[in-house]
Amino acid sequence: MTASKDSAPVVDASALIDERIASLGDWRGDALARVRKLIHEALPDVVETWKWMGTPVWEHNGIICTGESYKDKIKLTFAKGAALADPAKLFNSSLDGNVRRALDIGKGEKPDATKFKALVKAAAAHNATKKAGRKR
């Protein structure tokens, strides 16, 4: 972290995400690294942020998803997941909510790369549509 003379500390979110992946040191780090790579492939200009006391977040005109790590899973929570079509049925958690949807990845599980990237792109498109609507 660095700080400018007149501002709050500047957080290098990408470096903190790198550290999180390394600190997990097991299949969870590998899973988080894999989905991170897929997110960047789907949206090369995605912005990585670090929020809520240590949660990796990927943003593109708003939050796409967060990447939380638990003992038995990696949880990718899509901020506006309930508004997205999910024909591949990737969402398998938080299905009752009005706004969010999540994808839990357990040990040995790998979501289909093409379908996952399509979901990430759909989330970014949804954010862009909502942002354009607010500008009117």
The amino acid at residue 121 is: K
- What percent of the chain lies above the pLDDT cut of 70? 88
Domain membership of residue 1 (yes or no) is no
Q: How far is CA 53 from CA 50, 57, 131, in A?
A: 8, 11, 26
pLDDT: which is higher, 50 or 9: 50
Residue range 56-80: mean pLDDT, rounded:
96
CATH label of the domain that carries residue 110? 3.90.1150.200
Question: CA-based Rg of the chain, rounded to a whole angstrom?
Answer: 15
Domain membership of residue 23 (yes or no) is yes
pLDDT for 72-116, tens place per residue?
A: 999 999 999 999 999 999 999 999 989 999 999 999 999 999 999
Determine the pLDDT at residue 6: 55
Can you tell me whether residue 51 is helix, strand or coil?
Answer: strand
Which run of H or E residues covers position 35?
helix 27-42
Determine the pLDDT at residue 3: 44
Return the exposure string of 75-108: e unless at least 16 CB atoms fall within 10 Å of the residue's CB, then b.
bbbbbbbbbbebeeebbebbeeeeebbbbbbeee
Determine the pLDDT at residue 80: 96
Which residues constitute the domain of residue 31? Answer: 11-134
Give just the sign of the alpha carbon dihedral 109, 38, 32, 57. negative
Domain membership of residue 51 (yes or no) is yes
Domain membership of residue 2 (yes or no) is no
The domain tally of the chain equals: 1
pLDDT interval class at 64 (50, 70, 90): very high
Domain membership of residue 4 (yes or no) is no
* Other beta carbons less than 10 A from residue 28's beta carbon: 21
pLDDT interval class at 125 (50, 70, 90): very high
Domain membership of residue 119 (yes or no) is yes
Domain membership of residue 70 (yes or no) is yes
pLDDT at 35 over 80: yes
Residue range 49-58: mean pLDDT, rounded:
92
